[in-house]
């Protein structure tokens, strides 16, 4: 199988995967199940690529395991955070905005769109799975080290925020733990994970490993992640003061 055949098969597998989650959304009447599908989708796509390409061990297997560690943890975090709550307000807004053709629009604009993005971002890991050259050992080790640090950083940030939210008062902003040094340490961890994966790919001379990492960086820093949260808290006086002294992304000493 060549790369074109692999990505054709992965595209079909991704559409099938997101369509299955769309069916779950219809049955449960909750569009936000797509958020849980996101993390697991990377695990699924990477595993399918690993099986189809026939790379049973070595770096390829380690890449699959790192993606699984990141994706399963993220999916469990989102699932346990949302299962006892009503549907996320973002999707409630979409329901009103897209009626009377909400479900058809949601399938195209939420499920299938996220599926395409998922596949593009996964290309960073797939690059290493399909590599056929020996790695530059130092860069390979650095890549996995950065990737591991990113996974841990995101997990710690998510856990600290979850504990804080349980007792927070209206208007309060998380400013302790790793959140003291970054306004968005969970996003920093996520980006570190994907750029670590890109370094692994580059160590194997797969230049296109940076594509997925670049796409998720663009999404988080310019489109759907940090800008939306910064806008949401823009009128909060506590956040305004927090913003003056705290790095937006990379954890740094307060100034």
pLDDT for 34-89, tens place per residue? 999 999 999 999 999 999 998 777 899 999 999 999 999 999 999 998 888 888 88
The model's pTM is 0.94
Q: Which residues contact 199 (CB under 8 A, 6 or more apart)?
A: 139, 140, 142, 143, 146, 147
pLDDT at residue number 79? 94
The domain ranges of the chain are 1-130, 134-255
Distance, in Å, from the CA atom of 133 to the CA atom of 194, rounded to the nearest integer, reads 21
pLDDT above 90: percentage of residues in the chain: 84
CA separation for the pair 6, 25 (Å, rounded): 28
Contacts of 144 (CB under 8 A, 6+ apart): 62, 66, 196, 200
| Strand (E) or helix (H) holding 217 | helix 210-218
Give me the torsion for CA of 99, 103, 109, 110, rounded to 10°. 120
- pLDDT tens series, the chain, 255 aa: 899 999 999 999 999 999 999 999 999 999 999 999 999 999 999 999 999 998 777 899 999 999 999 999 999 999 998 888 888 888 888 998 998 899 999 999 999 999 999 999 999 999 999 998 888 999 999 999 999 999 999 999 999 999 999 888 888 999 999 999 999 999 999 999 999 999 999 999 999 999 999 999 999 999 988 999 999 899 999 999 999 999 999 999 988
């Amino acid at each position: 199988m060549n790369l074109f055949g692999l990505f054709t098969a992965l595209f079909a597998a991704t559409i099938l995967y997101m369509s299955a989650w769309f069916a779950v959304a219809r049955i449960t009447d909750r569009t936000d199940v797509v958020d849980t599908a996101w993390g697991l989708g990377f695990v699924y796509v990477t595993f399918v690529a690993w099986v189809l390409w026939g790379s049973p061990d070595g770096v390829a297997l380690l890449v699959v395991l790192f993606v699984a560690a990141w994706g399963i943890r993220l999916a469990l975090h989102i699932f346990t955070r949302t299962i006892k709550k009503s549907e996320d307000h973002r999707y409630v807004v979409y329901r009103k905005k897209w009626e009377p053709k909400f479900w058809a629009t949601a399938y195209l604009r939420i499920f299938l769109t996220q599926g395409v993005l998922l596949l593009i971002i996964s290309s960073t890991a797939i690059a290493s799975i399909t590599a056929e050259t020996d790695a530059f050992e130092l860069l390979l080790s650095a890549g996995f080290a950065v990737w591991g640090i990113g996974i841990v950083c995101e997990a710690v940030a998510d856990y600290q925020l979850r504990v804080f939210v349980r007792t927070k008062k209206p208007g309060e902003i998380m400013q302790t733990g790793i959140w003291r040094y970054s306004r968005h340490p969970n996003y920093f961890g996520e980006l570190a994970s994907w750029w670590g994966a890109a370094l692994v790919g580059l160590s194997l001379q797969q230049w296109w490993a940076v594509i997925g990492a670049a796409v998720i960086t663009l999404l988080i820093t310019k489109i759907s992640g940090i800008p939306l949260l910064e806008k949401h808290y823009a009128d909060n006086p506590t956040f305004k003061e927090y913003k003056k002294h705290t790095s937006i992304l990379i954890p740094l000493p307060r100034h």
